[in-house]
Amino acid sequence: MIKDIEIRQHNILTNARYEYTELQLDLFFFLVSKLRKDQKSETYELDIKELATLTGKQYHLPYLRKATEDMGSRMFEVETPERHMQLWMFRSVEYVKGTRIIEVTLSDKILPYLFNLQNNFTSYGLAAALRLSSKYAKRIYPLCSQWKDKGETKKYDIEDFKKMLGLLDDKGNDKAARISDLKSKVLDIAVKQINEHTELHVSYTLEKKGKAFKNIVFTVKPQALAETIPFDLVPSGTAPAGMQQHQVENAGRLLAQLSITTPELVATILASAAHVAACNKFAHDLKTGKHAKAHSLSGLLLTILGLKKPANGPLFDAATKKQG
Protein backbone atom coordinates (compact mmCIF):
# COMPACT_ATOMS: atom_id res chain seq x y z
CA MET A 1 0.00 0.00 0.00
CA ILE A 2 1.24 3.49 -0.80
CA LYS A 3 2.27 5.16 2.47
CA ASP A 4 3.26 8.66 1.37
CA ILE A 5 1.27 11.06 3.54
CA GLU A 6 0.99 13.61 0.73
CA ILE A 7 -0.61 11.08 -1.59
CA ARG A 8 -3.04 10.11 1.15
CA GLN A 9 -4.20 13.66 1.67
CA HIS A 10 -4.30 14.70 -1.97
CA ASN A 11 -5.84 11.69 -3.67
CA ILE A 12 -8.35 13.71 -5.65
CA LEU A 13 -10.72 10.84 -6.28
CA THR A 14 -11.09 10.03 -2.59
CA ASN A 15 -11.04 13.49 -1.05
CA ALA A 16 -12.49 15.61 -3.85
CA ARG A 17 -15.64 17.62 -3.31
CA TYR A 18 -18.29 16.12 -5.53
CA GLU A 19 -21.61 14.33 -5.34
CA TYR A 20 -21.96 11.17 -7.39
CA THR A 21 -25.26 9.31 -7.54
CA GLU A 22 -25.43 5.67 -6.48
CA LEU A 23 -25.41 4.68 -10.18
CA GLN A 24 -22.34 6.80 -10.91
CA LEU A 25 -20.52 5.32 -7.93
CA ASP A 26 -21.38 1.80 -9.13
CA LEU A 27 -19.86 2.63 -12.52
CA PHE A 28 -16.87 4.29 -10.90
CA PHE A 29 -15.96 1.36 -8.63
CA PHE A 30 -16.61 -1.12 -11.45
CA LEU A 31 -14.24 0.84 -13.66
CA VAL A 32 -11.55 0.93 -10.96
CA SER A 33 -11.86 -2.84 -10.59
CA LYS A 34 -11.02 -3.27 -14.29
CA LEU A 35 -7.76 -1.29 -14.25
CA ARG A 36 -4.65 -3.25 -15.22
CA LYS A 37 -1.18 -1.72 -15.05
CA ASP A 38 0.08 -4.07 -17.76
CA GLN A 39 -2.63 -2.93 -20.20
CA LYS A 40 -1.22 -0.66 -22.89
CA SER A 41 -4.57 0.73 -24.03
CA GLU A 42 -6.39 3.37 -22.01
CA THR A 43 -9.76 1.96 -23.14
CA TYR A 44 -11.63 -0.38 -20.79
CA GLU A 45 -14.78 -2.40 -21.41
CA LEU A 46 -17.57 -2.27 -18.87
CA ASP A 47 -20.00 -5.16 -19.25
CA ILE A 48 -23.23 -3.91 -17.72
CA LYS A 49 -24.59 -7.46 -17.54
CA GLU A 50 -21.67 -8.33 -15.29
CA LEU A 51 -22.23 -5.23 -13.18
CA ALA A 52 -25.92 -6.11 -12.78
CA THR A 53 -24.95 -9.60 -11.64
CA LEU A 54 -22.55 -8.19 -9.07
CA THR A 55 -24.97 -5.68 -7.57
CA GLY A 56 -28.33 -7.32 -8.19
CA LYS A 57 -29.60 -4.09 -9.78
CA GLN A 58 -31.05 -3.24 -13.17
CA TYR A 59 -29.37 -0.60 -15.31
CA HIS A 60 -31.32 1.12 -18.06
CA LEU A 61 -29.62 2.77 -21.03
CA PRO A 62 -31.02 6.33 -20.67
CA TYR A 63 -29.88 6.50 -17.04
CA LEU A 64 -26.47 5.05 -17.90
CA ARG A 65 -25.93 7.62 -20.66
CA LYS A 66 -26.93 10.47 -18.36
CA ALA A 67 -24.66 9.12 -15.63
CA THR A 68 -21.57 8.90 -17.85
CA GLU A 69 -22.35 12.30 -19.39
CA ASP A 70 -22.30 13.93 -15.96
CA MET A 71 -19.20 11.97 -14.89
CA GLY A 72 -17.38 13.00 -18.05
CA SER A 73 -18.05 16.68 -17.46
CA ARG A 74 -16.82 16.53 -13.86
CA MET A 75 -13.56 18.42 -13.37
CA PHE A 76 -11.06 17.44 -10.68
CA GLU A 77 -8.57 20.01 -9.46
CA VAL A 78 -5.07 19.10 -8.25
CA GLU A 79 -2.64 21.39 -6.50
CA THR A 80 1.09 20.65 -6.61
CA PRO A 81 4.00 22.91 -5.63
CA GLU A 82 4.54 23.67 -9.31
CA ARG A 83 1.09 23.51 -10.89
CA HIS A 84 -2.65 23.89 -10.55
CA MET A 85 -4.16 21.14 -12.70
CA GLN A 86 -7.69 20.71 -14.00
CA LEU A 87 -8.35 17.08 -14.95
CA TRP A 88 -11.24 15.21 -16.56
CA MET A 89 -11.75 11.47 -16.23
CA PHE A 90 -12.94 10.40 -19.70
CA ARG A 91 -11.54 11.05 -23.15
CA SER A 92 -14.55 9.27 -24.65
CA VAL A 93 -17.40 6.93 -23.76
CA GLU A 94 -18.86 4.63 -26.44
CA TYR A 95 -21.96 2.47 -26.11
CA VAL A 96 -21.68 -0.58 -28.42
CA LYS A 97 -25.11 -1.03 -30.02
CA GLY A 98 -26.76 -4.41 -29.63
CA THR A 99 -24.68 -5.22 -26.57
CA ARG A 100 -24.52 -4.14 -22.94
CA ILE A 101 -20.92 -3.02 -23.36
CA ILE A 102 -19.59 0.46 -22.61
CA GLU A 103 -16.10 1.28 -23.87
CA VAL A 104 -14.50 3.94 -21.69
CA THR A 105 -11.28 5.67 -22.74
CA LEU A 106 -9.61 7.31 -19.78
CA SER A 107 -7.53 10.45 -19.67
CA ASP A 108 -3.84 9.58 -19.31
CA LYS A 109 -3.54 12.33 -16.68
CA ILE A 110 -6.20 10.78 -14.43
CA LEU A 111 -4.80 7.23 -14.54
CA PRO A 112 -2.17 7.66 -11.76
CA TYR A 113 -4.90 8.78 -9.37
CA LEU A 114 -7.14 5.87 -10.35
CA PHE A 115 -4.32 3.39 -9.76
CA ASN A 116 -3.54 5.06 -6.43
CA LEU A 117 -7.16 4.58 -5.43
CA GLN A 118 -7.08 0.94 -6.57
CA ASN A 119 -3.96 0.34 -4.45
CA ASN A 120 -5.97 1.19 -1.34
CA PHE A 121 -8.29 -1.76 -1.91
CA THR A 122 -8.06 -5.51 -2.01
CA SER A 123 -10.21 -7.25 -4.62
CA TYR A 124 -12.57 -7.90 -1.72
CA GLY A 125 -12.76 -4.19 -0.97
CA LEU A 126 -13.75 -3.26 -4.49
CA ALA A 127 -16.37 -5.99 -4.49
CA ALA A 128 -17.69 -4.82 -1.14
CA ALA A 129 -17.88 -1.22 -2.36
CA LEU A 130 -20.31 -2.32 -5.05
CA ARG A 131 -22.48 -4.00 -2.42
CA LEU A 132 -22.95 -0.80 -0.41
CA SER A 133 -26.31 0.80 -1.18
CA SER A 134 -25.80 4.16 0.54
CA LYS A 135 -23.99 6.65 -1.68
CA TYR A 136 -22.44 8.12 1.45
CA ALA A 137 -21.16 4.70 2.50
CA LYS A 138 -19.61 4.36 -0.96
CA ARG A 139 -17.74 7.65 -0.41
CA ILE A 140 -16.74 7.12 3.23
CA TYR A 141 -15.50 3.57 2.63
CA PRO A 142 -12.58 4.53 0.31
CA LEU A 143 -11.81 7.47 2.56
CA CYS A 144 -11.36 5.04 5.48
CA SER A 145 -9.56 2.48 3.32
CA GLN A 146 -6.70 4.84 2.54
CA TRP A 147 -5.96 5.12 6.29
CA LYS A 148 -6.54 1.48 7.30
CA ASP A 149 -2.87 0.82 8.09
CA LYS A 150 -2.81 3.77 10.52
CA GLY A 151 -5.88 2.79 12.56
CA GLU A 152 -7.65 6.11 12.13
CA THR A 153 -8.15 8.80 9.54
CA LYS A 154 -6.92 12.34 9.77
CA LYS A 155 -9.27 14.86 11.34
CA TYR A 156 -11.69 16.32 8.82
CA ASP A 157 -13.27 19.69 9.35
CA ILE A 158 -17.00 18.93 9.41
CA GLU A 159 -17.87 21.64 6.87
CA ASP A 160 -15.18 20.39 4.50
CA PHE A 161 -16.39 16.84 5.06
CA LYS A 162 -19.94 17.86 4.15
CA LYS A 163 -18.71 19.59 1.00
CA MET A 164 -16.71 16.49 0.06
CA LEU A 165 -19.90 14.41 0.24
CA GLY A 166 -22.04 16.98 -1.57
CA LEU A 167 -24.05 17.79 1.55
CA LEU A 168 -23.01 21.45 1.64
CA ASP A 169 -22.66 23.64 -1.44
CA ASP A 170 -20.80 26.91 -1.95
CA LYS A 171 -24.03 28.89 -1.44
CA GLY A 172 -24.41 27.51 2.08
CA ASN A 173 -27.25 25.11 1.30
CA ASP A 174 -26.80 22.32 3.86
CA LYS A 175 -28.61 18.98 3.57
CA ALA A 176 -27.52 18.04 7.10
CA ALA A 177 -27.48 21.34 8.97
CA ARG A 178 -28.25 19.73 12.32
CA ILE A 179 -25.62 17.38 13.73
CA SER A 180 -28.41 14.91 14.51
CA ASP A 181 -29.28 14.79 10.80
CA LEU A 182 -25.65 14.23 9.84
CA LYS A 183 -25.48 11.32 12.27
CA SER A 184 -28.81 9.66 11.52
CA LYS A 185 -29.07 10.25 7.76
CA VAL A 186 -25.42 9.90 6.75
CA LEU A 187 -22.89 8.64 9.29
CA ASP A 188 -24.82 5.94 11.15
CA ILE A 189 -26.17 4.39 7.95
CA ALA A 190 -22.76 4.46 6.27
CA VAL A 191 -20.93 2.99 9.25
CA LYS A 192 -23.51 0.20 9.62
CA GLN A 193 -23.20 -0.80 5.96
CA ILE A 194 -19.40 -0.65 5.94
CA ASN A 195 -19.21 -2.81 9.06
CA GLU A 196 -21.67 -5.35 7.65
CA HIS A 197 -20.35 -5.66 4.11
CA THR A 198 -16.63 -4.86 4.04
CA GLU A 199 -13.33 -5.99 5.55
CA LEU A 200 -13.20 -2.81 7.65
CA HIS A 201 -14.81 -2.07 11.00
CA VAL A 202 -15.18 1.68 11.40
CA SER A 203 -16.53 4.09 13.97
CA TYR A 204 -16.48 7.86 14.18
CA THR A 205 -15.92 10.59 16.74
CA LEU A 206 -17.29 14.12 16.49
CA GLU A 207 -15.04 16.62 18.25
CA LYS A 208 -16.21 19.92 19.67
CA LYS A 209 -14.50 23.29 19.70
CA GLY A 210 -16.29 25.29 22.32
CA LYS A 211 -19.98 24.43 22.07
CA ALA A 212 -19.98 23.57 18.37
CA PHE A 213 -18.85 20.39 16.65
CA LYS A 214 -15.74 21.11 14.61
CA ASN A 215 -14.05 17.90 13.42
CA ILE A 216 -14.79 14.30 12.55
CA VAL A 217 -12.32 11.41 12.71
CA PHE A 218 -12.89 7.75 11.85
CA THR A 219 -11.35 4.79 13.65
CA VAL A 220 -10.52 2.01 11.17
CA LYS A 221 -9.82 -1.63 12.07
CA PRO A 222 -9.61 -4.78 9.93
CA GLN A 223 -12.17 -7.52 10.40
CA ALA A 224 -12.99 -10.88 8.87
CA LEU A 225 -15.82 -10.61 6.38
CA ALA A 226 -19.05 -12.18 7.53
CA GLU A 227 -20.27 -12.83 4.01
CA THR A 228 -18.78 -14.57 1.02
CA ILE A 229 -18.90 -12.30 -2.02
CA PRO A 230 -19.63 -14.53 -5.03
CA PHE A 231 -17.31 -12.96 -7.57
CA ASP A 232 -13.67 -12.21 -8.17
CA LEU A 233 -12.69 -8.75 -9.45
CA VAL A 234 -8.97 -9.45 -9.65
CA PRO A 235 -8.27 -12.76 -11.42
CA SER A 236 -5.48 -14.91 -10.04
CA GLY A 237 -4.30 -18.45 -10.57
CA THR A 238 -3.36 -19.07 -6.94
CA ALA A 239 -6.73 -20.24 -5.61
CA PRO A 240 -7.17 -24.00 -5.07
CA ALA A 241 -9.56 -25.87 -7.34
CA GLY A 242 -13.18 -25.03 -6.62
CA MET A 243 -12.31 -21.76 -4.88
CA GLN A 244 -12.16 -18.16 -6.06
CA GLN A 245 -9.31 -15.85 -5.14
CA HIS A 246 -11.46 -13.60 -2.96
CA GLN A 247 -12.37 -16.62 -0.79
CA VAL A 248 -8.67 -17.31 -0.28
CA GLU A 249 -8.08 -13.66 0.62
CA ASN A 250 -10.88 -13.78 3.17
CA ALA A 251 -9.43 -16.94 4.72
CA GLY A 252 -5.99 -15.32 4.88
CA ARG A 253 -7.44 -12.25 6.54
CA LEU A 254 -9.13 -14.44 9.16
CA LEU A 255 -5.87 -16.27 9.89
CA ALA A 256 -4.07 -12.97 10.39
CA GLN A 257 -6.85 -11.71 12.66
CA LEU A 258 -6.45 -14.84 14.82
CA SER A 259 -2.63 -14.49 14.81
CA ILE A 260 -2.18 -17.72 12.86
CA THR A 261 0.84 -16.51 10.93
CA THR A 262 3.32 -19.42 10.74
CA PRO A 263 4.11 -19.44 7.00
CA GLU A 264 4.01 -23.23 6.57
CA LEU A 265 0.68 -23.49 8.41
CA VAL A 266 -0.88 -20.61 6.49
CA ALA A 267 0.28 -22.13 3.18
CA THR A 268 -1.20 -25.51 4.16
CA ILE A 269 -4.58 -23.99 4.98
CA LEU A 270 -4.83 -21.72 1.95
CA ALA A 271 -3.80 -24.51 -0.45
CA SER A 272 -6.84 -26.61 0.52
CA ALA A 273 -10.30 -25.83 -0.86
CA ALA A 274 -11.88 -27.56 2.15
CA HIS A 275 -9.81 -25.50 4.60
CA VAL A 276 -10.58 -22.24 2.78
CA ALA A 277 -14.31 -23.01 2.80
CA ALA A 278 -14.16 -23.84 6.52
CA CYS A 279 -12.36 -20.55 7.21
CA ASN A 280 -15.03 -18.58 5.39
CA LYS A 281 -17.75 -20.34 7.38
CA PHE A 282 -15.82 -19.73 10.61
CA ALA A 283 -15.60 -15.99 9.77
CA HIS A 284 -19.35 -15.88 9.34
CA ASP A 285 -19.95 -17.77 12.58
CA LEU A 286 -17.50 -15.49 14.38
CA LYS A 287 -19.29 -12.32 13.37
CA THR A 288 -22.72 -13.70 14.22
CA GLY A 289 -21.50 -14.54 17.74
CA LYS A 290 -21.53 -18.34 17.46
CA HIS A 291 -18.02 -18.64 18.90
CA ALA A 292 -18.33 -15.86 21.48
CA LYS A 293 -17.63 -18.23 24.40
CA ALA A 294 -14.61 -19.93 22.84
CA HIS A 295 -11.52 -19.75 25.06
CA SER A 296 -9.13 -19.76 22.08
CA LEU A 297 -10.51 -18.87 18.67
CA SER A 298 -7.28 -19.85 16.91
CA GLY A 299 -7.24 -23.19 18.68
CA LEU A 300 -10.89 -23.79 17.84
CA LEU A 301 -10.33 -23.02 14.16
CA LEU A 302 -7.31 -25.33 13.98
CA THR A 303 -9.31 -28.07 15.65
CA ILE A 304 -12.10 -27.63 13.10
CA LEU A 305 -9.51 -27.83 10.33
CA GLY A 306 -7.99 -30.97 11.86
CA LEU A 307 -4.65 -29.24 12.37
CA LYS A 308 -4.59 -28.88 16.15
CA LYS A 309 -1.31 -30.10 17.64
CA PRO A 310 -0.05 -30.49 21.21
CA ALA A 311 1.01 -27.21 22.79
CA ASN A 312 4.69 -27.96 22.12
CA GLY A 313 4.06 -28.94 18.53
CA PRO A 314 5.53 -27.12 15.53
CA LEU A 315 2.33 -25.28 14.67
CA PHE A 316 2.37 -23.08 17.74
CA ASP A 317 4.71 -20.30 18.80
CA ALA A 318 6.88 -20.71 21.86
CA ALA A 319 4.65 -18.31 23.80
CA THR A 320 1.85 -20.87 23.72
CA LYS A 321 3.83 -23.66 25.36
CA LYS A 322 2.47 -25.05 28.60
CA GLN A 323 3.66 -23.10 31.59
CA GLY A 324 5.24 -24.66 34.66
**pLDDT attached to residue 243:** 67
**pLDDT attached to residue 324:** 40
Strand 200-209's sheet: what is its strand order?
156-157, 212-222, 200-209
- In which residue ranges of the chain is CATH 1.10.10.10 found? 1-119, 121-223
φ/ψ (deg, to 5) at 301: -60, -45
Helix (H) or strand (E) holding 54: helix 48-55
CATH number of 121-223: 1.10.10.10
Could you give the angle at the alpha carbon of 140 between the alpha carbons of 134 and 141, nearest 5°? 90
**Measured distance CA(318)–CA(312) in Å, rounded:** 8
Distance between alpha carbon 100 and the CA centroid of its chain, in Å? 26
**pLDDT attached to residue 224:** 65
**pLDDT attached to residue 219:** 95
Question: With 0-12 CB in 10 A as exposed, 13-18 as middle and 19+ as buried, what is 140?
Answer: buried
**pLDDT attached to residue 318:** 39
Write down the pTM of the prediction. Answer: 0.58
236's CB contacts (< 8 A; 6+ apart) are: 245
**pLDDT attached to residue 136:** 93
Fold for 1-119, please state it. Answer: Arc Repressor Mutant, subunit A (1.10.10)
Q: What is the DSSP string of 65-123?
A: HHHHHHHHH-EEEEE-SS-EEEEESEEEEEEETTTTEEEEEEPTTTHHHHHHHHHT--H
pLDDT per residue as tens, the chain (324 positions): 323 333 333 456 666 666 788 899 889 888 888 888 788 889 999 999 988 887 878 899 999 999 999 998 888 777 777 888 888 889 999 999 999 999 999 998 888 878 776 666 554 566 777 788 899 998 898 888 878 778 899 999 999 999 888 898 888 899 999 999 999 999 999 999 999 888 789 999 999 999 899 999 999 988 765 444 443 443 344 566 666 777 787 888 888 888 887 877 888 888 888 888 888 888 888 877 888 778 888 888 998 888 875 454 444 443 334 444
3-class SS of residue 176: coil
Helix (H) or strand (E) holding 43: strand 43-47
**Measured distance CA(112)–CA(163) in Å, rounded:** 24
Give the DSSP letter of residue 212.
Answer: E
Dihedral (C-alpha) 232, 236, 242, 247: value to the nearest 10 degrees? -50
In 166-230 the beta strands, taken as DSSP E runs, fall at 200-209, 212-222
Rounded (10°) angle between helices 273-287 and 245-257: 60
